[in-house]
Homo-oligomer: A and B are copies of this chain.
Amino acid sequence: MTNGEVPTGGLTHLRITLSETAYVGPGRADLLELIGQTGSISAAGKAMGMSYKRAWGLVQALNEGFGRPLVESSRGGASQGGAQLTASGRLVLEHYRAMQDKTRQAIAQDVAALRQAFDMSGKK
């Protein structure tokens, strides 16, 4: 995960589970965002150090888990086609980023209090 990385806000992992098959955490959100940015499952996976097979599997798990496509792709053999977020995919990503922001705000005082209590205030 993100051990070793110390964000100022303290939040390193937020997973939201909506149903028995639908959840989103930082890795899934990053993959969705990168697919939206690159237009490619392969490029998005590569940016996260993932094989195409693994990135494709994650996209399938997202699409099936949410009961409708979050990512649409024209999978084309060697060319590996293009991909884009659907409106549903953008909705999930936007809400997830909003939830991260709201969580950082909600926990800020507790994070600060703990860092102060353990003399970690000087560390990032």
A: which residues have CB within 8 A of B? 1-7, 10-20, 22-23, 25, 66-68, 88, 91-92, 95, 98-99, 102-103, 105-107, 110-111, 113-115, 117-120, 123
Contact = CB atoms under 8 A, between A and B. Distances in A.
Contact of A106 (B23, B91, B105): B105
Number of copies: 2
Contacts of A118: 18-19, 22, 66-68, 88
A25 B99 CA distance: 17
Of all A-B residue pairs in the complex, the 3 with the closest CB atoms, nearest first, are A13-B15, A106-B106, A102-B106
Q: Chain A interface secondary structure, helix, strand, loop or mixed? A: mixed
Nearest to A102: B106
